[in-house]
């Protein structure tokens, strides 16, 4: 009933449904349905416990599908076809359709194909169709809109099917060795390394997974005068001396879908949003604050999702190149066997920090669209029991996301600092290469036009 009420609300806001005839320019402006569809997708990603890299892929393809449908008749926006790797133009509508219905339906259809709990999105989709029909949309228009959405979804999914994701499901697992500097599984779950071959996934914009290779991590050396030992002690001391705000920051940006609760011999997971999901939530908050219309909202979602997806490919390329051991493993073995990080260590190598890379990239994408400064209240984590935080820009939010990993006790500072640089360089390249249309006028005081 709650979901049906949400659908009803956007329909009330959208007082009449606009249809599109081939060759006739139409502007559709109400973004509520797309926001709700994105939240539904996020809820399923959390429910299905997808890894952060896989979740970024799930966000990207549906967002692109919705944007491409709307770009069919948006004179100031350029389609992504021909700009993303191997992505060809979607088919044009052959009958009168409702652009908003087709865009949201394409989003849901693509999203449904990429998750485990398909029935959840399909139930939402069918309820949404009924509400649209009850609010007066002509059944023929609805039928044509759904048919067009299905055609676009098939087109996008055919493209997605060639990104090497399915092939990587069969690749060899990460090999554990006795190299003292090499990543080892960490407590309490001691999970296998997540997505060791993610650098084989086809990028959306960047030339290759290794286009933004950061400088090498500090060499492992537990001599008390070595740089690595000092970096390790920095993590150890930071966690020992955390103040309340630093604890809040670490918890706010935790975004670890693999958190395990251990009670005696019983272990169960706490479901959390992924770091990419957090930034898609920020894209929603920013779009609503800016009172963005549907087209600009779709632009924000798709550009952010593309930046996140390529950032994960770039970051994971380095993680499994350096395969650096986590602070928790080092500290417990050489310094203090009772020490615990404030956050649970996620199951993959340390360098570079995923939060730092993907937040740096997403921050650049959103800054390109909504400008800087841009004050916003990030309430993304409120539904997961945390307090909202305020930021004056997307870059300041990405800086906080990065340093949160030191407070959490799960990253050395080079992974954080070099990760931010890696992500921002990647994000700027994506912003410069993709021509979508209207962008912010207050980025560093200059108008950005495409």
Q: What residues have CB less than 8 Å from 66, skipping those under 6 apart?
A: 34, 37, 103, 104, 106, 107, 298, 301, 302
Question: Are 400 and 265 found together in one domain?
Answer: yes
Question: Are 16 and 34 found together in one domain?
Answer: yes
Q: What are the tens digits of pLDDT across the range 220-240?
A: 999 999 999 999 999 999 999
Residue 121 lies in a domain: yes
Q: What is the distance, to the nearest Å, from the Cα of residue 235 to the centroid of all Cα atoms in its chain?
A: 27
Omega cis (within 30) before 188 = yes
Q: What are the tens digits of pLDDT across the range 114-149?
A: 999 999 999 999 999 998 998 889 999 999 999 999
CATH code of residue 298: 1.10.606.20
Tell me how many domains the chain contains.
2
Question: Are 153 and 207 found together in one domain?
Answer: no
Return the structure tokens found at 353: 């920090």
Return the structure tokens found at 369: 């669209």
Q: What is the DSSP letter of 344?
A: P
Residue 442 lies in a domain: no
Q: What are the tens digits of pLDDT across the range 158-215?
A: 999 999 999 999 999 999 999 999 999 999 999 999 999 999 999 999 999 999 999 9
* Model confidence, pTM: 0.92
Domain span at residue 309?
Answer: 175-433
Burial tier of 447 (Cβ tally within 10 Å: 0-12, 13-18, 19+): exposed
- Each residue's pLDDT, cut to its tens digit, for the chain (450 residues) gives 444 444 433 443 443 344 455 433 333 458 999 999 999 999 999 999 999 999 999 999 999 999 999 999 888 999 999 999 999 999 999 999 999 999 999 999 999 999 999 999 999 999 999 989 988 899 999 999 999 999 999 999 999 999 999 999 999 999 999 999 999 999 999 999 999 999 999 999 999 999 999 999 999 999 999 999 999 999 999 999 999 999 999 999 999 988 877 666 666 667 789 999 999 999 999 999 999 999 999 999 999 999 999 999 999 999 999 999 999 999 999 999 999 999 999 999 999 999 999 999 999 999 999 999 999 999 999 999 999 999 999 999 999 999 999 999 999 999 999 999 999 999 999 999 999 986 554 443 333 333
Residue 331 lies in a domain: yes
Percentage helix, strand, coil for the chain under 3-state DSSP, each rounded to 5: 55, 5, 40
Find the angle CA(98)-CA(61)-CA(122) to the nearest 5 degrees: 60
Residue 439 lies in a domain: no
- Cα–Cα distance measured from residue 415 to residue 412, given in angstroms and rounded to the nearest whole number: 6
Helix extents (H) in 253-382: 275-289, 294-322, 327-334, 354-370
Omega cis (within 30) before 352 = yes
The torsion angle over the Cα atoms of residues 310, 314, 316 and 322, rounded to 10 degrees, is 180
Last residue of some domain: 132, 166, 200? 166
The secondary structure element, H or E, covering residue 425 is: helix 413-433
């Amino acid at each position: 009933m709650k979901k049906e009420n949400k659908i009803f609300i956007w329909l009330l806001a959208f007082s009449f449904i606009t249809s599109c005839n081939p060759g006739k320019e139409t502007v559709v402006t109400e973004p509520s349905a797309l926001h709700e569809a994105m939240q539904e997708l996020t809820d399923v990603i959390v429910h299905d416990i997808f890894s952060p890299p896989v979740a970024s892929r799930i966000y990207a393809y549906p967002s692109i599908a919705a944007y491409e449908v709307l770009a069919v008749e948006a004179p100031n926006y350029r389609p992504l076809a021909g700009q993303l790797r191997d992505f060809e133009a979607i088919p044009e509508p052959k009958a009168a359709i409702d652009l908003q219905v087709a865009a949201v339906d394409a989003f849901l259809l693509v999203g449904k194909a990429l998750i485990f709990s398909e029935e959840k999105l399909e139930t939402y989709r069918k309820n949404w169709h009924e509400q649209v029909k009850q609010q007066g949309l002509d059944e023929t228009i609805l039928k044509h809109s759904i048919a067009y959405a299905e055609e676009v979804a098939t087109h996008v999914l055919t493209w997605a099917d060639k990104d090497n994701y399915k092939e990587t499901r069969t690749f060899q697992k990460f090999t554990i060795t006795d190299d003292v500097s090499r990543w080892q599984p960490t407590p309490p779950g001691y999970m296998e390394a997540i997505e060791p071959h993610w650098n084989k996934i086809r990028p959306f914009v960047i030339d290759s997974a290794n286009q933004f290779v950061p400088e090498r991590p500090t060499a492992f050396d537990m001599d008390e005068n070595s740089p690595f030992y000092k970096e390790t002690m920095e993590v150890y001391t930071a966690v020992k001396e955390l103040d309340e705000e630093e604890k809040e920051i670490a918890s706010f940006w935790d975004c670890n879908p693999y958190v395990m609760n251990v009670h005696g011999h019983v272990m169960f997971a706490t479901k959390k949003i992924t770091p990419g999901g957090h930034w898609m939530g920020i894209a929603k908050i920013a779009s609503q604050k800016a009172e963005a219309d549907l087209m600009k909202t779709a632009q924000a979602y798709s550009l952010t999702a593309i930046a996140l997806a390529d950032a994960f490919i770039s970051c994971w390329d380095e993680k499994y190149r350096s395969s650096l051991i986590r602070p928790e493993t080092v500290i417990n073995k050489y310094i203090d066997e009772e020490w615990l990080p404030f956050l649970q260590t996620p199951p993959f190598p340390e360098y570079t920090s995923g939060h730092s890379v993907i937040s740096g990239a997403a921050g650049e994408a959103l800054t390109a669209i909504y400008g800087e400064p841009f004050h916003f209240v990030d309430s993304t984590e409120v539904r997961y029991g945390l307090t909202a935080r305020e930021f004056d820009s997307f870059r300041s939010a990405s800086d906080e996301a990065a340093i949160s990993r030191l407070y959490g006790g799960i990253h050395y500072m080079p992974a954080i600092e070099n990760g931010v640089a890696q992500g921002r360089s990647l994000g700027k390249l994506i912003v410069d290469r993709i021509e979508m249309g209207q962008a912010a006028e207050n980025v560093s005081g200059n108008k950005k036009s495409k």
